Amino acid sequence: EAQVTQNPRYLITVTGKKLTVTCSQNMNHEYMSWYRQDPGLGLRQIYYSMNVEVTDKGDVPEGYKVSRKEKRNFPLILESPSPNQTSLYFCASGRSGGAWNEQFFGPGTRLTVL
Amino acid sequence: TQLLEQSPQFLSIQEGENLTVYCNSSSVFSSLQWYRQEPGEGPVLLVTVVTGGEVKKLKRLTFQFGDARKDSSLHITAAQPGDTGLYLCAGEIYGGATNKLIFGTGTLLAVQP
């Protein structure tokens, strides 16, 4: 089954404790992206990747890191999480970053930083 | 910063009613996508409109792209409880190496049986 998987689905942590949210897709997509979703703000892009070893900042990259060592995986790293990073996070993938790019979303990771 | 405003933010209606959701911006988009998101899941693409004035139908859902490609609407006829969810519009902006998707603020629809 074609899908984007994220782990964990739920995470409660404390300020400053490094964490990684994993994302994996089995559709051989070149393009992958991370978003955060907050009430009233919609989906905001954190980082995206056009292909292996190619990553770039989205609209809200501060406090986040990513890596793309393999085509299928695109982990999101919070080196020192803070309470304002409490949010619902989505990973997405697509065939390319070109026109009419449909993005396939994972189920989401709900993160709470105390 | 491009902004996509959706209205209304919340909508609660009875089964069988019609409704329209609006998506507006001052920016011009190369295409406009509509997604539906159900609780506990990620957004799922419903449709992409590309040409100014384009109308697409998906069963009881009708999507229209504004003539100037700055706005879009989603009309649902005879809403069903299964239509309940968060509806998101997303405008695509040509960005050179990659196009960028700007998501709207969302419309939360609840259809009561």
Best residue in A100, A104, A109, A110 for a mutation probing chain B (most B CBs within 10 Å): A100
Beta strand segments in chain B, E: 5-7, 10-14, 19-24, 31-37, 44-49, 55-58, 61-65, 71-76, 85-93, 100-103, 107-112
CA distance A21 to A32: 14
- Nearest C-alpha in B relative to A97: B98
CA distance A99 to B51: 13
CB contact under 8 Å between A100 and B40, yes or no, is: no
CB contact under 8 Å between B99 and A45, yes or no, is: no
CB contact under 8 Å between A107 and B40, yes or no, is: yes
CB contact under 8 Å between B97 and A50, yes or no, is: yes
Q: How confident is the model at residue B95 (pLDDT cuts 50, 70, 90)?
A: low
pLDDT above 60 for A99? no
CA distance A97 to A85: 26
- Higher-confidence position of A97 and A54: A54
Closest-CA distance, B8 to chain A, in angstroms, reads 12
pLDDT above 60 for A97? no
Best residue in A38, A101, A109, A110 for a mutation probing chain B (most B CBs within 10 Å): A101
pLDDT at A64: 98
Report the mean per-residue pLDDT for chain B. Answer: 92
Residues of B in contact with A103 (CB under 8 A): 45, 101
pLDDT above 80 for B43? yes
CB contact under 8 Å between A100 and B50, yes or no, is: yes
Tens of pLDDT, residue by residue over A24-81, are 999 999 999 999 999 888 899 999 998 899 999 999 999 999 999 999 999 999 999 9
